[in-house]
Amino acid sequence: MSSVIPFARLRVTTDNRTHRPGECAHHNIKLDSRGGIVTCRDCGASLSPFWALTMLAEQYELALDHARRLEDRLARADSRILELSAELDGQTRTKGRLEPAST
């Protein structure tokens, strides 16, 4: 039976520790929908489906936080643009009303 893998060759990540420098972080995963197997595409390690779900949820949360920060920056930039536009409009109106001084 060539499809049987000895346990000595099978690496499974089930703990919550972060990866060490130089080790694979398992961020590039492959899902086998028929067998329910999660594999790292980079290093080939078999991963716990729950660990993969947790990692993806953490990545999603980070992406949402980043999107919220970008939306906040965009709102502040829009507000500042409106302030500067109003200021510029006020200066333009003021300059249009001033008469040149006669000498």
Over residues 28-43, the mean pLDDT reads 91
Higher pLDDT, 16 or 93: 93
Q: Is this model's pTM higher than 0.75 or not?
A: no
Residue 87 has pLDDT above 70, yes or no: yes
Q: What is the pLDDT of residue 18?
A: 62
Over residues 20-30, the mean pLDDT reads 85
* Confidence tier at 16 by pLDDT (50, 70, 90): low
Q: What is the pLDDT of residue 15?
A: 56
Q: What is the pLDDT of residue 67?
A: 96
Burial of 38 by CB count in 10 Å (0-12 exposed, 13-18 middle, 19+ buried)? buried
